[in-house]
Each structure stands twice: as C-alpha cells, then as structure tokens.
Amino acid sequence: MNALIDFNALKERQKVAWASGDYAVIGTTLQLVGEQLAEAADLLHGERVLDVAAGNGNATLAAARRGARVTSTDYVPVLLERGAERAHAERLEVDFQVADVEALPFADASFDAVLSSFGVMFAPNHPQSAAEMARVCRPGGRIALANWTPEGFIGQLFKTLGKHLPPPAGLQSPSLWGVEPHLAELFGDKAASMNATRRIFNFRYRSAAHFIEVFKTWYGPVHKAFAALPADGAAALERDLTELLERLNRAGSRSLVVPSEYLEVVVMRR
C-alpha cells in the first residue's frame, strides 16, 4: 500500500460518488445477501449488532428482523436515510449513526457481532478497517462479511471501470476483500477462526442495455465514471460493459441473468 495516498481526500471523493445517483435502487435488489449473512453469523435475539458501511441497510434490516439491537453506520448520510426509511416501514427499531469504518466511534468490545454486506470492502485503508471492526467486536463475537471476489462479475466490472478511469497508484483493490489469504492477513491473530463460503448472487435485468442504464443512472461509481469521461470514452466504456454482460449472461436472448460470485466470511473474534 502506498503510504503517500491521501486517504481523507480519497474518501471525500468516494462520498460524493456514493451519494450521486441513488444506491438504494441497486442496493435493495441485494437484500437476499443480507439475509444469508445474518444467518451465517447465527445472530441471536437481543444481541448487539453493528452494521458498518451499511449503505441502504440490507444487513441492518436482516439483523433487526432477527431481534438484534442494531446500530447501522455509514459515512454517507443519504444512504443511512434510505435505510432508516426501510426500517420505519417495517416498524424495526434501529439506531442509525454517521460513522467511518476506519474510525468507529464506539468503545472496545461494544458489539456481539459486526456485519458488512458489500460495504467495508470499498473503504480504502484495508488494515485500518479490519482493525476497527475487530476492536469493537467482543472476544468470542463474530465479524460477518459479504465481499465481491476478483473473479466474479462485479470484480470484473470494477476492472473494466479501472481500465477507463485508473484508480490512484498503490491503492489496494476492493476485490481483495474477496480473497481468503488477504482476509487472513488483515485479521491475523485477532481471529480465532475464519470460515469462508463462495456464493452466487444473480443480477436480473431485461438486457445488457437495461443494466447499464440503471447502473449509469443510480449506482454511484458507474454514474461518476460515465460523467467523468468524454463522449468517446463513455461510448468505449459502454461497449466494454456490454461485452462483459453479454459474455456472462446465462439467460440467452430472452433476458439478462448474470451470476456474480461473492465470498461470505465469518470471523470468530479471539
């Protein structure tokens, strides 16, 4: 990792990207992952649960539905607002707090379980994020994560974006959170055990063009990428995304169903 990277400046740009569009339009389609993650963490009624980089609250809602006392955090306030709207609609009691996973405002061992569904993987400082999650999780507690793998569709999508808009030199890829040896290195002796399961989430859209239009309009990183490119660059990006989608589509000409691999990980805190 390049020690010269200005993480604060980078995170300010990330906040703008994630606040653009409306991630909840995409995020709500991923609710199944949050439910499976809550089951993998074996959450108990009444446990104290922290959701970090919670986005629009998929893992938050899943934990609250299981009777946990949930604190939902993200450093993008508008994302938490979407989660709060969903919790209110279901009459779920959740504490929503603006917080950065790299500097969590909670005491050591405050939570029985810490969750993140496709969230913490996008924080730029991997070791700091892992250290903070481990710090606030009690000994014997669980840290449960869902992270896209480098080989999966979303991992390939971000590689495609990076080809057109290269990330800062030295920055670790978010997809490394979907690699078991990287996670073992991050959590180190703070982990009593780590169980990882590769799972598939299916993205379902009418066509490649429909997927690109939805993501270009609502998904912050893709929205900002298209906005930052000149017309010919945006056209080239669209061609590459179309090729990727059509190559991975398993529904043929009828529709678009693209399987995307992710790693479900449960770390037992030592």
Give the pLDDT score at 4: 67
Domain spans of the chain, in order of start: 7-159+167-203+260-269
In the chain, % helix, strand, coil (3-state, to 5) comes to 50, 25, 25
Say if residue 92's pLDDT is above 70. yes
Say if residue 1's pLDDT is above 50. no
Say if residue 90's pLDDT is above 50. yes
Residue in 123, 82, 79, 117 with CA at minimum distance from that of residue 101: 123
What is the CA 145 to chain-centroid distance, rounded?
9
Give the pLDDT score at 3: 53
The dihedrals phi and psi of 110, each to the nearest 5 degrees, come to -80, -20
Instruction: Determine how β-strand 111-117 pairs with β-strand 256-269.
Output: unpaired
CATH superfamily of 7-159+167-203+260-269: Vaccinia Virus protein VP39 (3.40.50.150)
Q: What angle do CA 120, 125, 129 make, to 5 degrees?
A: 50
Say if residue 17's pLDDT is above 90. no
Nearest-angstrom CA–CA distance, 148 and 129: 17
CB distance 257 to 251 below 8 Å: yes
CB distance 257 to 129 below 8 Å: no
Say if residue 87's pLDDT is above 50. yes
What's the pTM value of the predicted model, to 2 decimals?
A: 0.95
Neighbouring-strand partners of residue 254: none
Position 185, amino acid: E
| Lowest mean pLDDT across 76-80, 104-108, 246-250 | 76-80
The dihedrals phi and psi of 153, each to the nearest 5 degrees, come to -60, -50
Q: Residues 96-105: what's their mean pLDDT? A: 98
Instruction: Determine how β-strand 69-74 pairs with β-strand 48-51.
Output: parallel
- Per-residue buried b or exposed e for 159-184, using 16+ beta carbons within 10 Å of the residue's own CB: ebbeebeeeeeebbbbbbbbbeebbe
